[in-house]
Chains A and B, each alone.
Chain A
Amino acid sequence: MTPNIVILCAAGMLVSAFLMVGQKSLFTTIRLYGVQSLLLATVAVVMAISDERPHLFLMATMTTILKGFVIPLFLMRVVDRIGIHREIEPFLNVPASLLACLGLTVVGYRVSTGFPEGTVGVTHHVLGVGLSTLMIGLFLMVTRKKAISQVLALLTVENAIFLVALGITSGMPMVVELGIFFDVILAVLVLGVLVRRIVDRFESMDVSRLSKLKG
């Protein structure tokens, strides 16, 4: 039963990453990120119970509260204040992006079989899904123009790394995990402010316009 829940949630994260690629509305993308974080928290809880590692409960709680609710709500407020709700023109259109992500998923899965633990059972799937989500996140970061989309892509990458860490190392030491959490929160706050500044300056969230700053 336990491996099934873990695989179910991990695969759900991959599906949500895919939906992010196919989605242009910023609100929906933010909600998808929230769902993805909740799935990650579920994986952590299940692993905490099955492997008897109580400190994972703390991680799951923090993931749920911060990444599941606080960060999405904060980002939604930023989007609401700015009043730009859609990613109009990514560098690559949706069908082409999806095709690219298909390729990335296959690559991610293939790479995961290169790890000694990554060839069989639950670890194989968690690792494959984690690496695929990671690469989809990186792909989103380079193909989207809106600053908020890029922040979300960064957060997706962070979720994916967390999933991979859960899959192979059975959790990092608590100090490291807490450190990462504070990094993420600070990053989101700083980026939120930065996005506002970009919008104030250019009246657009399009980061490709930043190149105009060159003298």
Chain B
Amino acid sequence: MLDDILRVLAGALLQAVGLLAVAPLLRSGIKKMKATMQTRKGPPLLQGYYDLAKLLHKETVRSETASWVYVLGPRVYFAAAVAATTLVPVLVAAAPLEGAGGILGLVGILALGRFALAAAALDTGSPFGGMGSSREMTIAALAEPALMLGLFTSALAAGSLDLGAVVRGALVPGALFRPSDILALAGLFVVLIAETGRIPVDNPATHLELTMIHEAMVLEYSGPDLALVEWASALKELLYITLLIDLFVPVGIATTTTAASLAVAVAAWTGKVLVFAVAITLVETTNAKLRLFRVPELVAVSLGLAFIALAIRFL
């Protein structure tokens, strides 16, 4: 009994640490691919790690008016992102802490992190923080239901709210593909773009006051606090991609814990993350950033797609 609990906890820890270690590489990789497409040289692949190391060594500067909400914000955001990784199957077709919560738990934990950061941005009373929070929440109000509906579409097929069960259901040989899967995938891809602040919605590379959303929220943070936020954002991006992989292309994920199947799972997962990274890069290079007031329209499209995906499951 105790052995089992220890093994589960070790698995969860291993997965969280592994994803944390890889996450900055994904961001730098996308940056590098984008630069290559624009015939620039771009930063080195390990730039994400250098940035984190630099920020972690700096001293923390906090506004005099900052309260405990401001201090807590990045920590809760980071903790929520790490906690969320334990609810998603990555290499093995079962989430490490499957008993602790399924889809609802995942969405709730991510929402908690977002709330903590938005509240923290409001805390110092700087106009940028407030503007960033209000924008982030405007988008989240539409993206979150879209995420829920998209996840429910897959959950309906598996008859379970557990992500592990959803993945195992999709792996059954002869499972028929449905149009609702495509609609849900299209919807969730837009959610991925919106939630990770990619180009048609937000530009991660700019600090232009009129357009920034996520950057406006974290403008006040510096040093280790900022490192936590950046790291958690990178982790969240990897998490969303992994989620899409689990729901729609779980092929190759390990169903047993033998070394061979795990090796296959690692290769398959890396390959699929790479495919999604390329897709994100293509979207980022071929689109211009949308006007802020057009963003809700885009996210509404994803909400719509996810809604029909769910609706036609019943017909």
Contacts and interface: CB of A to CB of B under 8 A. Distances in A.
Nearest to B175: A4
Given A15-B182, A18-B304, 11 more contacts: A3-B177, A4-B177, A7-B177, A7-B182, A11-B182, A94-B300, A98-B304, A106-B315, A109-B311, A125-B179, A128-B315
Contacts of A18: 301, 304-305
Contact of A98 (B186, B300, B311): B300
Interface in A79-134: 94-95, 98-99, 101-102, 105-106, 109-110, 112-113, 121, 125, 128-129
B70 interface: no
A210 interface: no
Given A94-B297, A128-B315, A102 B181 contact: no
Contact of B297 (A14, A15, A95): A95
A63 B186 CA distance: 25
B183 to A, nearest CB: 6
A14 B300 CA distance: 17
Nearest to A101: B304
A110 B300 CA distance: 23
A54 interface: no
B285 to A, nearest CB: 16
Of residues A7, A12, A128, which shows the largest number of chain B Cβ atoms within 10 Å of its Cβ? A7
A99 B311 CA distance: 13
Contacts of B269: none
A128 B315 CA distance: 9
B121 to A, nearest CB: 27
A7 B175 CA distance: 13
A117 B124 CA distance: 63
Given A8-B182, A128-B179, A15 B305 contact: yes
Contacts of B177: 3-4, 7-8
B183 A102 contact: no
B306 to A, nearest CB: 10
Contacts of B308: 102, 105-106
A38 B315 CA distance: 27
B311 A106 contact: yes
A128 B180 CA distance: 11
Interface string B42-54: 0000000000000
Interface residues of B, number: 21
Interface of B: 176-183, 186, 296-298, 300-301, 304-305, 307-308, 311-312, 315
Given A10-B179, A18-B304, A98-B304, A110 B315 contact: yes
A121 B179 CA distance: 11
Contacts of A113: 315
A101 B298 CA distance: 15
Of residues A15, A99, A128, which shows the largest number of chain B Cβ atoms within 10 Å of its Cβ? A15
A11 B183 CA distance: 7
Contacts of A19: 301
Contacts of B311: 102, 105-106, 109
A95 to B, nearest CB: 5
Contacts of B180: 11
B224 to A, nearest CB: 42
A115 B210 CA distance: 53
Given A4-B177, A14-B179, A109 B312 contact: yes
A22 B296 CA distance: 12
A6 to B, nearest CB: 9
B179 A11 contact: yes
Nearest to A99: B304
A7 B176 CA distance: 9
Contacts of B186: 15
Contacts of B301: 18-19, 22, 98
